[in-house]
Every structure is written in C-alpha cells, then in structure tokens.
Amino acid sequence: MINIINLQKTFGAQKVLNGINLIIGEKEIVTIMGKSGCGKSVLLKHIIGLMKPDEGSVLIDSDDVTRISGRDLDKVREQFGVLFQGGALFDSLTVFQNIAFPLKEKTRLSKEEIEERVEKALADVGLSGVGEKYPIEISGGMRKRVALARALITEPKIVFFDEPTTGLDPIIVGSIHRLIIDAHRKYGFTGLMISHEIPGIFEVANRIAMMHEGVIIEVGTPEEIVHSQNPVVMQFIKGSYEGPVKL
C-alpha cells in the first residue's frame, strides 16, 4: 500500500531524512518511533505530499506522491484520513460540523445522509449528544476523539496518526488506542502512526519501525522490538538516559 524508497531531505546543513526505506502493507498498522526531532513528522509530511524530497520516492499503490501535484495529488489524498497531533479542529465550528466537514467537501451525500453518518461516528467514539458543543467546550481527550471521528468519517483506505495521544493522561491514552484498534477492525484501513507512547503502541501496531539519525534502523513486530539487541532501540524502549543516543 505504501512504499518509501531512499527518501532524503536536507534543511540547510541538517540532513533530516538520510535514505528512509519502509514498506507498509495493506491493512497493516505501522508505528514509527524515535526521539523528538529525529524527523518523524517530516517523513509523514512527505508521505502525505506536503513536502517534496531531495531524492527518493513515496508510492501509494502505484502513484508516486513525490512526483505529482494538483488534481492528481488531490485524487490520491482522497484515500487519506489524518489525525493531527493537536486535533486541528475548527474552533468556529461545532463538533458535529467538524466531523461533517469532509463529507460536505468530498461527497455528494444528502443532508440527511450526512447527519446519520455523523451521529453514528459520534456514537462510535462515545460522544453521542455533544454534537452541538464547540471544541473549546470539551476536554482534550474528547477533542482527540472528535478528530478521530473526522479522520474516519469518509472511510479512508489509509489513515495517518501524528502523535494522536500527546499531552493526554494515561487513561485517555489507553481509550484512544482502543478506539484506533476498534476502528481498524471495523474499517480495515492501512495505518501509519507517529508515536512515543511506550508500551501502549505495542498493542496498536502490527509492526514498529525505529527511526534514528534520518534512517530506519530496525523494523519488527512489537515482540521483536521489545527483545531487540540494538542498543539504540533498547535505550528508547527502556527510556534510559544512558546509551548511544545523547539527549
């Protein structure tokens, strides 16, 4: 579904992506982990087509998003759902209007059909009855759930999660992870997640990719990553100050 080939990107003198290679299979959830500032979000922006690399390719099925633009890129993006780190809800719209927004922009569904799908989406994330509230009137955890409902409302083939649980307490983190797992079972999307949440992400992802110094240094199942002998991976998993990665 997603094939990242030798992706490279430099900003000034800083090499952020130094030959990223990663294949994400259809209906698989892959989590990319690594220390803050290692280039995870930059990688995600390249996959979505918000940035162009210096070298390399990103294939979504057979379409190389690094070499297309305009309507061709928009057509590929119609397959995407995105859960941004901060939720990225529209403050001037109600919860209902936020979730309905992609349906109004991308489909020709009737008002009644949109209303039915939004109400169902709200129920799926445990927010029935809050559709008329504004984002400022609900908690951070609820805003993340609204953002998740919006990301899934068009039933996308691919969903990107950019640190979906940052800044939330452990109980809410667990609930968001459970919602992602349940949504994946229901919709069967291909997922790419950027996350620091260890060990929570091990319950969500089929495979974990460790990013370090602009490359993917190890890929494996959660069990394989937990038992990795790579000192960088071991340090990250343990959250240790001592190790090859200088904080």
Q: What is the pLDDT of residue 107?
A: 85
| In 87-196, alpha helices (H) | 95-106, 111-124, 140-152, 170-187
Q: For residue range 144-171, what is the model confidence (pLDDT) as tens digits?
A: 889 999 999 998 999 999 888 877 788 8
Confidence grade of residue 11 (pLDDT, cut at 50, 70, 90) = very high
- Do 239 and 35 form a contact (C-beta atoms < 8 A)? no
Q: Tell me: the pLDDT tens digits for 64-118? A: 999 999 999 999 998 999 888 767 899 999 999 999 999 998 888 999 999 999 9
Show the tokens assigned to 3: 């094939």
Is residue 247 over pLDDT 70?
Answer: no
Tell me if residue 164 falls in helix, strand or coil: coil
Q: Identify the CA nearest to 127 among candidates 150, 93, 106, 158.
A: 150
